[in-house]
Structure 1
Amino acid sequence: MEKKNNKGKFIKVGNSISFKFSTDGLDYDLQPGSVYTVSYDRYEEKLTLSEAPSLKLPEKVYSSESDDKFMKKILNRFQKSKDEVTGVMLSGLKGSGKTVMCKKIALDSNLPIILIDKSLYPSVLCKLFNLLEDVDVCAIIDEIDKLGEDYDDSYLLKILDGINSSGRKLMLFTCNNDDMISEFLIDRCSRIRYWREFDEMNKELIKSILEDRLNDKNEVKSVLDFIVSRFGCVSFDNVSSFAQEINENPKDTFEELFNDMNLSVK
């Protein structure tokens, strides 16, 4: 939404969205469901948001009843919150659906979505949230376990503690390796309220994927049994890829396909 004469917090010039320190440009409000990236000019010490492509979900999102309940609980808590951060950690197996769930929560929140790049200095991240003040947003930090040992967690902790900030913030984190997560985030519900571990997919989800993706529906049970008995890593990525290989190479045995793919043995 662009306005010429209001007291908005942002100024928009072209596709660049800056915090309002001057009167040049159009007043601008961050849009629900829109996605923004963050850049920082160290020379001018200036933070800028840029409009980014919308978050894309697969044509069909596979989720269990437990997953749906978990996501609903997060959004309900956020709606009931007052001037605080609702932190969510999605951790575990690669290709298991963490990113899809993260995107779905963000989109269902109907908040402006800010993607936080790992290269953004922690002090700058803190500055961003201070400037956002009472603006309700959803912020995503993907693969937080890859921030590195030199990353100053103290700034992130200040954000999660709501220091120098107001308004409601929904912060979504993903990680592949729990061992790399700061000890100051574990067992601290005031910082990370919800934590979901992603392990191997259950049989019902595997079956749903196979029923949708296999050309020969009569093979669903035999493929399911093969996956459960042979796959070292049962993830959405691997199950979907295996189903595709079966469709494209109907004369090959499951074992032949398995041996040719980048799959580990159970």
Structure 2
Amino acid sequence: MAKILAKESGLPIIVVNPDYPEGKLIKFFKSFTTPVCVLFDEVEKNFKTEYMLDFLDGVEKTAQKLVIMTCNDLSKVSQYMQDRCSRIRYLRRYSPDENAAFLPMLADDFGIKNKEEVVKFCKENIKLLSMDNIVSFMSEVKMLEDEDISLQEIINIMNISTENIPTKVSDTVEYDDECDDCDECNDGYDDYECCDAA
């Protein structure tokens, strides 16, 4: 979501690496006046949010910089950053259902050939329409779009919960404990049991 907003800004985007020292952020962003979009992904996990006010004060005084921060757990963000409208003007909470509006744009970004079919399939089948699930699924669809594999087959093998679609027994691998002296058993490794995938 944040990356989409950043892209929509039309500004050059700087994604801040969590390993970059917080103390050097202010100095770096003060070193130029070009308007940019600064993206902090999962700020509560990757950054010490109690020090972010200093960064925001420094950035505010230098140039036009759009700062976007993503957060999965607002309770883990420093209390000093909350209710500080002069530093953080907008706070937007998104529910996964709202992500459906971004499906066509994401399909375009991936260059998916059967866009309408994929968008409809996502809306009807992905139980949690998180950006992570959507992007992962579309990435897989793009990678496999020239293969003879259905959208249903793709999602069945992914770690994505689906709406009322039970995993088929045929999608799981079952092993038979008994062996019929296949080639694998005759390799000199008597200590290991061989099994045929059903």
What is the one-letter code of the residue matched to 1:194?
Y
CA distance in 2, matches of 1:249, 1:229: 23
Q: Given the alignment of the two structures, is residue 123 of structure 1 paired with residue 23 of structure 2, yes or no?
A: yes
Q: Given the alignment of the two structures, is residue 244 of structure 1 paired with residue 142 of structure 2, yes or no?
A: yes
Equivalent pairs counted in the alignment come to 155
Q: Which residue of 1 aligns with 2:178?
A: none
CA distance in 2, matches of 1:239, 1:146: 24
Question: Equivalences for 1:60-139 in 2 at 5 Å?
Answer: 97-105=1-9, 108-109=10-11, 116-128=16-28, 132=31, 135-138=33-36
Segments of 5+ residues of structure 1 without an aligned counterpart are: 1-96
Q: Is the 8 A contact 1:115 1:141 kept in 2?
A: yes
What is the one-letter code of the residue matched to 2:65?
L
Whose Rg is larger?
Answer: 2
What is the one-letter code of the residue matched to 1:99?
K
Q: Is the 8 A contact 2:26 2:58 kept in 1?
A: no
CA distance in 1, matches of 2:70, 2:92: 11
Q: Which residue of 1 aligns with 2:125?
A: 230
Q: Which structure carries more relative contact order (alpha carbon 8 Å, separation 6+)?
A: 1
Q: Is the 8 A contact 1:214 1:243 kept in 2?
A: no
Q: Given the alignment of the two structures, is residue 177 of structure 1 paired with residue 81 of structure 2, yes or no?
A: no
Q: Given the alignment of the two structures, is residue 191 of structure 1 paired with residue 87 of structure 2, yes or no?
A: yes
How far is the alpha carbon of 1:166 from its aligned partner? 3.4
Q: Is the 8 A contact 2:137 2:155 kept in 1?
A: no
Q: Which residue of 1 aligns with 2:196?
A: none
Q: Which residue of 2 aligns with 1:213?
A: 112
Q: Is the 8 A contact 1:122 1:152 kept in 2?
A: no
Q: Is the 8 A contact 2:36 2:64 kept in 1?
A: yes
Seq. identity, %: 21
How far is the alpha carbon of 1:191 from its aligned partner? 0.7
How far is the alpha carbon of 1:231 from its aligned partner? 1.0
RMSD (Å) for aligned C-alpha atoms:
3.9
- Which among 160, 164, 167 is matched to residue 263 of structure 1? 160
Segments of 5+ residues of structure 2 without an aligned counterpart are: 164-198
Q: Is the 8 A contact 2:38 2:68 kept in 1?
A: yes
Q: Deviations over 1:62-84 (max 9, x none)?
A: xxxxxxxxxxxxxxxxxxxxxxx
- Which among 168, 176, 180 is matched to residue 63 of structure 2? 168
CA distance in 1, matches of 2:58, 2:44: 22
How far is the alpha carbon of 1:262 from its aligned partner? 2.9
- Name whichever structure is richer in helix by fraction: 2
* SS of equivalent to 1:118: coil
What is the one-letter code of the residue matched to 1:98?
A
Q: Is the 8 A contact 2:40 2:69 kept in 1?
A: yes
What is the one-letter code of the residue matched to 2:2?
K
What is the one-letter code of the residue matched to 1:237?
V
Q: Which residue of 2 aligns with 1:153?
A: 50
CA distance in 1, matches of 2:4, 2:105: 17
Q: Which residue of 2 aligns with 1:76?
A: none
Per the normalisation by structure 1, the TM-score is 0.44
Q: Which residue of 1 aligns with 2:40?
A: 142
Per the normalisation by structure 2, the TM-score is 0.55
